[in-house]
């Protein structure tokens, strides 16, 4: 069932109490002496003794942003947005509510309820107009109510539009090749650093191949590149890989990291999302075709509302909005309002971190603690997503209380299918099966309903479980049935977002609590990112289209910068802004602000072409530098902040796996149809079926096509730091832990790859040592050094004997040694590091 | 050459763990440079150095096990006073525990007859009868128990500890979860979330014979493996020669050696057959009812003994909506003796004084009945206990109302409990923070206060 309008309405109807400011202070006239005496005798001592410890400017930590040591603070109230005391109005005095101890969440003082006579005194005092002589202004204690100065906020470097400046003059002649180099070299010169030697040709092609395709270069490619001395050899190689289909499969994965892509709900109950793969394929195609990045973003936020060329184009644009639907969700939540607000929060969080490099979701419960983002900004955005219908699918079940339909893309959309066609007879059988299951469920229900109370109590939990069981069974069959049209053709269903018929604005929820709606704010954009006086509000519909155009705009100071920084980080090993998902006040400052602006503005000038951005970085001498150590440079800049050398980088989990399969000749480059998740089926049984499919035969497809079920990431990926698929992640961890070693040495997949590699080598022509050298070239894209040759010889002379001694049959000894050799190459540091 | 570069790298390590890491190396232990698991200084002197968390999944009935309520017993069959239970509107029939309670130990701690073994350790146990959690639903409460929050993706307590104080044995992972449930958050309950990936729990299957992932090499003898590893390390060292300073490659080298060592040490630690018959009997190993959990408890002792920082065991299912009498009897029979054995064994080896043993589930159960023979979830007041590791033995902390429904005296919310556990390990819960996504995060998420009176 879709979340219906009444559910949403419940969030909004309710006592939307408006926030009153201190302006409403009572008359300034002198307080009557008897009233003053009453305050001094009955109220002030209680406040001092019972409240000041946590609610005064002197408190070590002001709780709830509420200070009670001045009249101003008391009347203004705390973060809840409700006045502490409204003269004459008990109902509008939050401290009255608190001292009554009626609401479990709001009991003050927390340890013990005040005596009845003290409470009575407060009542009397508030009713007499809360006379209060304490006129001193509130000191700005840690948690006092924060008023955001947006003008001041706009001065933050990242909130100002990027401006392209001329590259700086440099002293060192002949090193800089591109504008990027001039920015980098100037930074080095200013810090007394010097560039190191360029990378040699084999190192460079390996770097370029992995960076663009996630795969090692073939020995032929290495040979051709080393031989090609023409000036544009590097450019040719870059273009060759940029044009390869493998490029999209590599770069899409970078975006999937920040889009927290996964094929299940994660969280408490891990419900499968069988149609999530469509979004993955959309991202691959977008990178492959070099879709302008601004359009790429617009489609993900509001693809359903954009103009389209034909049915296929429309379908693709709808699939793009899957970005908003694939986030982690708590399907078992019984409170639909809570479920929806959590989903909206997740959408705001993913969108703002991935596209804007901002943590807007921090403003859900209070104004952002660090950035100039008000809670009002958050709920203005929340209104946009509340006015949109997020369609994520799934079926009702014992732990799934939140389901929706999916979007039928239609036959004419010519979309791929994960399932094979079935015959119309099979469809009819499936339909009958569903009707029977449905009937059984209804019967179980009516049987229990017709019981008398006494009988029902007696039947108790078992009756409930029986109904539940039959219902679940019916839903599981319905899930299968929904996959097909009557003629047995699989339906193309997609996760995504559509506009609701009637947009709605969201109230601010005090402390993010759905039970505490306050002022309703119109749907809108983030104030600090808009020029002063610019309209923030929405022109039509949910506002997603406005939002999409506003984000994917040359006027947005963050969008191009954030992406340029992401691309730089992936190619150079560290971001110009080291915190790629946070450009706010708590993010780190850019090491090269002018270079970042140069990249961002050029990116936009080049029609938001990601390929052009990549090419420009790769063509720089900075990218083509060697990674050698240099003692003098190291002493000044050990972290290589100024890029005096290329960072040594560990390969991503996907690249390690793909490279192992590639060198062993086992990699299947044919793209996968859909996903094993799509074929697994619904519910718990689906998870089990998936596990069976994946563990029964190791998949040999590229890693991007492996099933990504939250919290059940394939071991091959998780062991090499695959990120948490529930979180936006622009910069993966790279750890060196023993479980990786254990995996590479002992896991059957690693051993299988070694065997395949060995079999490939064994078939080659030539003397044993030539074969070993060929394996070396496949694994490392270079020939072994003399010292390494000695090591290889030693191993080759010793290991077969050792294997024979420990009982390996004579005819298997050579093969065992070859397999051990190949595995050693894959388990060595060089295999998983780029120089 | 290697040792020089390593020393140099240690000296330049900006995070300040360098010296400690170096000391560990000097003692002959392997330790990757700047490893997130290097032993780190505590905020104050730790009372406990390691934790065994006996997680009772499903919500054990505190009113039948630890929280003795004569008034509830007396009022069995009557309705609870209006407005005192549930959402305040329903009618609830009170149901006293069918089991007998008695006082145990010098402190006279109440426990039910279902727990004769644990009762013998009453003077080492600090019973907390005033636990509270936010939501009495399994997934949320289990996540809160492990990560402090219900809604978001956060690191588990064990991962925080790894991050906070590191590990004492680099030959084994520092955080191990034995047979965790795949439900109610699953891996989330031992995940590192945004903390360094190495902080996450390593899972060992409940089948103590199965052991750790990829720990056994099925095809090569140890000598063959050593020869193979020597070759790999020659290649690695050859790379290192090109780079005077390369902590990452050193990390690869050291983690490969550690893995090799782990292959030997982990199966040894996990080989329960090496324990004496008396020890095995202590845990109830070899007897049908107690064998499985007994093995896990013994394994936990062996792991903490070798320096593993945090070991979690999961025992369940305690979700007795019905068939409480049979279910609780059965669960206690399989749990009581192994746990008692664990406490006795730890004590006998002098480990209990700095090993914190924690027993408890995500919530407790209602004092009123559900159906004929069951109890519903109750998060407003329930029991957990801690033993050893610097807690006051024999102390009963906090109190629920006369029916055992809600904590009325010294309530200890999960946040407070987390704060207290961290405190026992020498960590200030407000200072153990990790900066992520624009702000500092901590286990207690802006809440929590240390219950100082449970400290010995």
Please give the share of chain B, as a percent, with pLDDT higher than 90.
60
Q: Look at B228 and A745 and tell me if their CB atoms are within 8 Å.
A: yes
CA separation for the pair A697, A676 (Å, rounded): 12
Q: Determine how many CB atoms are found less than 10 A away from the CB of residue B445.
A: 16
User: Could you report the per-residue pLDDT of A37-46, keeping only the tens digit for each?
Assistant: 788 878 887 8
How high is the pLDDT of residue A511? 75
pTM for this model (two decimals): 0.75
Structure-token match 């073939």, residue found: A218
Put simply, the answer to whether B137 touches A399 (Cβ < 8 Å) is no
Asked if residue A220 has pLDDT above 60, the reply is yes
Q: Percentage of residues in chain A with pLDDT exceeding 90?
A: 64
Given a cut of 90, is residue A233 above it in pLDDT? yes
Q: What is the pLDDT of residues B35-48, one digit of tens each?
A: 566 777 888 899 99
Q: Looking at residue A18, what is its pLDDT?
A: 30
Identify the weakest region by mean pLDDT among A80-84, A88-92, A537-541, A676-680. A80-84
Q: Are A381 and A521 in contact (CB under 8 A)?
A: no
Q: Are B73 and B376 in contact (CB under 8 A)?
A: no
Rg of chain B in Å (alpha carbons): 23
Which among B59, B102, B120 is positioned nearest to B375, based on CA atoms?
A: B59
Quick check: A23 pLDDT over 90? no
Give the C-alpha separation, A180 to A193, whole Å.
17
* Contact between A596 and A565 (Cβ < 8 Å): yes
pLDDT band of B23, cuts 50, 70, 90: very low
Cross-chain Cβ contact A828/B321 below 8 Å: no
**pLDDT at A145 (0 to 100):** 46
> How many angstroms separate the Cα of B385 from the Cα of each of A700, B50, B432?
49, 16, 24
Helix (H, G, I), strand (E, B) or coil at A804: helix
Split at pLDDT 50, 70, 90, the class of B373 is: confident
Higher pLDDT: B190 or A450? It is: B190
Q: What tens digit of pLDDT does each residue of A786-797 get?
A: 999 999 999 999
Residues 1-30 (B) with a CB less than 8 A from some CB of A:
12
Q: A741 contacts in B (CB within 8 Å)? A: 255-256, 258-260
Chain segment B131-162, per-residue pLDDT in tens: 999 988 887 899 999 999 876 778 999 999 98
> Which residues contact residue B145 at a Cβ distance below 8 angstroms, ignoring those fewer than 6 apart?
B55, B133, B360, B361, B362, B414
Q: How confident is the model at residue A24 (pLDDT cuts 50, 70, 90)?
A: very low
Q: Are strands B202-204 and B175-178 parallel, antiparallel or unpaired?
A: parallel
Q: Is B244 on the interface with A (CB under 8 A)?
A: yes
Measured between alpha carbons, how far is residue A722 from residues A274, A329, A765 in Å? 21, 20, 38
User: With DSSP H G I counted as helix, E B as strand and the rest as coil, what are the percentages for chain B, rounded to 5?
Assistant: 40, 20, 45
What gap in Å lies between CA A649 and CA A541, rounded to an integer?
46
Whether the CA torsion B415, B420, B425, B430 is positive or negative: it is positive
pLDDT above 90: residue A116:
no
Going by DSSP bridges, is the β-strand pair B382-388/B355-360 parallel, antiparallel, or unpaired?
antiparallel
Look at B113 and B373; give whichever has higher pLDDT.
B113
The per-residue pLDDT for A806 is 87
Query: Among A720, A745, A817, A819, which would you mutate to test the B interface (most chain B Cβ atoms within 10 Å of its Cβ)?
Result: A745
The candidate with the shortest Cα–Cα distance to A737, out of B240, B212, B138, is: B212
The larger pLDDT score, comparing residue B209 to residue A226, is at A226
> Going from the N-terminus, what domains does chain B have, and what CATH number goes with each?
40-214+275-454 (3.40.720.10)
Nearest C-alpha of chain B: how many angstroms from A739? 7
Query: Please, which pLDDT band fits residue A685 given cuts at 50, 70 and 90?
Result: confident
- The pLDDT value given to residue A147: 74
> Of B185, B198, B254, which has the smallest distance from its Cβ to A268's Cβ?
B185
Q: What is the band of A542 on the pLDDT scale with cuts at 50, 70, 90?
A: very high
- The CA distance from A95 to the nearest CA of chain B, in Å, is 21
pLDDT digits (tens, 9 = 90+) for B432-445: 998 876 678 999 98
With contact defined as beta carbons under 8 Å apart, do A288 and A247 qualify? yes
* Nearest chain A residue to B184, by CA: A268
- The Cα A96–Cα A122 span in angstroms is 8
CB B166 within 8 A of CB B135: no
Residue B209: pLDDT over 90: no
pLDDT at B178 over 50: yes
Which residues are CB-contacts of B87 (< 8 A; sequence separation ≥ 6)?
none
B288 touches chain A (CB under 8 A): no
pLDDT band with cut points at 50, 70 and 90 for residue A689 = confident
**Complex prediction ipTM:** 0.81
Q: Where does the pLDDT of residue B9 fall: very low under 50, low under 70, confident under 90, or very high at 90 and above?
A: very low
The mean per-residue pLDDT over the stretch A207-219 comes to 98
Contact A138, A152 (CB under 8 A): no
What is the pLDDT, as a whole number, of residue A512? 83
Per-residue model confidence (pLDDT) at position B438: 62
Closest-CA residue in chain A for B170? Answer: A738
For residue B1, what are its two tokens?
């050459």
Which range is least confidently modeled, A532-536, B96-100, B294-298, B327-331? A532-536
Rounded Cα–Cα distance for residues B234 and B229 (Å)? 8
* Residue B400 contacts residue B95 (beta carbons within 8 Å): no
DSSP helix/strand/coil, B314: strand
**Contact across the interface for B231 and A824, Cβ inside 8 Å:** yes
């Amino acid at each position: 069932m879709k979340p219906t309008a009444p559910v949403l309405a419940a969030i909004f109807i309710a006592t939307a109490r408006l926030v009153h400011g201190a302006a409403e202070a009572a008359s300034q006239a002198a307080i009557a002496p008897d009233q003053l005496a009453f305050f001094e005798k009955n109220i002030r001592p209680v406040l001092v003794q019972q409240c000041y410890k946590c609610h005064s400017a002197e408190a070590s930590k002001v709780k709830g942003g509420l200070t009670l040591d001045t009249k101003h603070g008391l009347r203004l109230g705390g973060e809840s947005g409700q006045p502490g005391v409204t003269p004459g109005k008990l109902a509008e005095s939050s401290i009255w509510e608190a001292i009554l101890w009626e609401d479990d969440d709001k009991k003050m003082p927390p340890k013990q309820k005040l005596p009845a006579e003290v409470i009575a005194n407060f009542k009397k005092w508030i009713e007499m107009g809360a006379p209060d002589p304490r006129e001193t202004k509130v000191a700005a204690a840690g948690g006092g109510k924060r008023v955001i100065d947006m003008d001041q906020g706009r001065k933050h470097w990242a909130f100002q539009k990027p401006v392209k400046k001329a590259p700086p003059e440099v002293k060192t002649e002949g090193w800089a090749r591109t504008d990027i180099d001039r920015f980098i070299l100037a930074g080095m010169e200013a810090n007394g650093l010097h560039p190191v030697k360029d990378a040699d040709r084999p190192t460079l092609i390996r770097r370029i191949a992995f960076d663009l395709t996630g795969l090692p270069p073939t020995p032929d490619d290495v040979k051709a590149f080393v031989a090609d001395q023409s000036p544009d050899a590097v450019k040719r190689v870059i273009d060759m890989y940029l044009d390869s289909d493998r490029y999209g499969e590599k770069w899409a994965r970078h975006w999937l990291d920040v889009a927290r892509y996964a094929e299940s709900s994660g969280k408490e109950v891990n419900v499968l999302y069988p149609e999530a793969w469509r979004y993955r394929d959309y991202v691959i195609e977008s990178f492959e075709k070099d879709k302008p990045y601004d359009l790429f973003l617009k489609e993900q936020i509001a693809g359903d509302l954009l103009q389209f060329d034909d049915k296929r184009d429309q379908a693709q644009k709808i699939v793009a909005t899957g970005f908003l639907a694939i986030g982690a969700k708590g399907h078992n939540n019984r409170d639909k309002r809570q479920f929806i607000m959590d989903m909206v929060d997740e959408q705001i969080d993913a969108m703002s971190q991935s596209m804007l490099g901002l943590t807007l979701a921090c403003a859900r419960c209070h104004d952002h603690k660090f950035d100039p983002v008000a809670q009002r900004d958050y709920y203005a955005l929340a209104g946009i997503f509340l006015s949109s219908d997020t369609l994520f699918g799934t079926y009702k079940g014992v732990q799934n209380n939140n389901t929706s339909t999916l979007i039928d893309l239609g036959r004419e959309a010519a979309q791929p299918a994960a399932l094979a066609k079935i015959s119309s007879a099979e469809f009819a059988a499936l339909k009958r099966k569903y009707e029977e299951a449905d009937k059984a469920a209804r019967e179980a229900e009516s049987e229990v309903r017709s019981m008398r109370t006494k009988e029902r109590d007696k039947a108790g939990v078992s009756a409930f479980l029986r109904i539940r069981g039959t219902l679940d069974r019916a839903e599981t069959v319905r899930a299968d049935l929904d996959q097909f049209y009557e003629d047995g053709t699989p339906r193309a269903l997609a996760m995504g977002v559509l506009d609701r018929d009637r947009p709605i604005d969201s109230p601010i929820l005090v402390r993010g609590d759905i039970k505490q709606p306050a002022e309703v704010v119109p749907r809108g954009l983030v104030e600090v990112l808009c020029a002063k006086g610019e309209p923030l509000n929405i022109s039509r519909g949910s506002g997603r289209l406005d939002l999409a155009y506003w984000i994917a705009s040359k006027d947005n100071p963050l969008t191009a910068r954030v992406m340029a920084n992401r691309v730089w980080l992936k190619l150079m090993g560290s971001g110009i802004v080291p915190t790629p998902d946070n450009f706010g006040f708590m993010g780190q400052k850019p090491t090269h602000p002018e270079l970042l602006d140069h990249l961002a503005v050029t990116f936009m000038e080049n029609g938001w072409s990601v390929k052009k951005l990549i090419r420009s970085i790769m063509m720089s001498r900075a990218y083509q530098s060697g990674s050698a150590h240099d003692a003098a440079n190291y002493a000044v800049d050990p972290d290589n902040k100024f890029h005096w050398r290329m960072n040594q980088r560990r390969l991503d989990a996907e690249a390690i796996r793909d490279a192992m399969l590639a060198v062993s000749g086992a990699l299947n480059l044919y793209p996968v149809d859909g996903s094993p998740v799509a074929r697994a089926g619904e519910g718990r049984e689906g998870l089990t079926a998936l596990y069976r499919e994946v563990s029964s035969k190791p998949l040999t497809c590229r890693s991007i096509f492996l099933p990504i079920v939250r919290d059940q990431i394939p071991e091959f990926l998780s062991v090499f730091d695959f990120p948490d698929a529930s979180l936006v992640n622009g910069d993966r961890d790279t750890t060196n832990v023993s479980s990786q070693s254990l995996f590479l040495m002992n896991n059957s997949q690693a051993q299988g790859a070694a065997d395949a590699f060995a079999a490939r080598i064994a078939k080659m022509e030539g003397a044993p040592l030539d074969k070993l050298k060929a394996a070396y070239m496949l694994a490392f894209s270079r020939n072994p050094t003399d010292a390494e040759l000695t090591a290889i010889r030693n191993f080759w002379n010793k290991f077969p004997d050792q294997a024979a001694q420990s009982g390996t049959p004579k005819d298997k000894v050579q093969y065992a040694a070859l397999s051990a050799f190949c595995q050693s190459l894959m388990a060595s540091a060089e295999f998983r590091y780029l120089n | 050459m290697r040792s020089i570069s390593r020393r140099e790298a240690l000296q330049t390590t900006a995070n300040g763990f360098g010296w400690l890491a170096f000391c560990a190396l000097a003692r002959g232990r392997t330790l990757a440079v700047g490893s997130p698991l290097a032993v780190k200084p505590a905020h104050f002197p730790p009372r406990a150095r390691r934790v065994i968390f006996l997680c009772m999944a499903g919500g054990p009935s505190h009113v039948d096990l630890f929280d003795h309520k004569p008034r509830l017993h007396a009022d069995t069959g009557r309705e609870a006073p209006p407005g005192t239970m549930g959402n305040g509107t329903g009618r609830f029939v009170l149901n006293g525990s069918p089991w007998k309670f008695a006082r145990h130990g010098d402190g006279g701690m109440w426990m039910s007859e279902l727990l004769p073994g644990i009762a013998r350790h009453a003077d080492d146990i600090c019973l907390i009868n005033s636990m509270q959690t936010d939501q009495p639903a399994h997934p949320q409460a289990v996540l809160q128990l492990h990560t402090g929050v219900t809604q978001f993706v956060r690191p588990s307590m064990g991962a925080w500890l790894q991050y906070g104080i590191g590990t004492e044995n680099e030959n084994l992972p520092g955080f191990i979860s034995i047979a965790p449930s795949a439900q109610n958050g699953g891996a989330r309950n031992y995940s590192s979330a945004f903390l360094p990936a190495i902080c996450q729990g390593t899972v060992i299957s409940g089948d103590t014979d199965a052991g750790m992932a990829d720990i056994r090499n099925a095809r090569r003898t140890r000598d063959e493996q050593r020869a193979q590893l020597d070759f790999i390390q020659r290649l690695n060292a050859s790379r290192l020669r090109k780079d005077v300073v390369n902590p990452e490659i050193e990390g690869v080298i050291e983690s490969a050696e550690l893995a090799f060592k782990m292959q030997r040490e982990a199966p040894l630690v996990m080989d329960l057959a090496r324990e004496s018959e008396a020890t095995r009997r202590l845990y109830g190993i070899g007897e049908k009812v107690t064998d499985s959990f007994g093995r896990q408890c013994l394994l936990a002792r062996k792991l903490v003994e070798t320096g593993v920082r945090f070991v979690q065991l999961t025992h369940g299912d305690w979700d007795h909506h019905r068939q409480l009498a049979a279910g609780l009897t059965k669960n206690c029979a399989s749990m009581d003796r192994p746990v008692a054995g664990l406490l006795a064994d730890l004590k006998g080896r002098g480990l209990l004084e700095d090993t914190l043993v924690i027993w408890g589930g995500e919530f407790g159960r209602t004092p009123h009945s559900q159906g004929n023979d069951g109890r519903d979830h109750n998060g407003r007041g329930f029991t957990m206990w801690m033993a050893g590791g610097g807690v006051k033995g024999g102390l009963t902390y906090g109190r629920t109302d006369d029916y055992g429904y809600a904590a009325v005296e010294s309530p200890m919310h999960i946040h407070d409990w987390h704060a207290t556990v961290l405190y026992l390990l020498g960590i200030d819960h407000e200072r153990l923070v990790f900066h992520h996504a624009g702000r500092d995060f901590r286990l207690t998420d802006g809440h929590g206060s240390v219950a100082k009176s449970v400290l010995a």
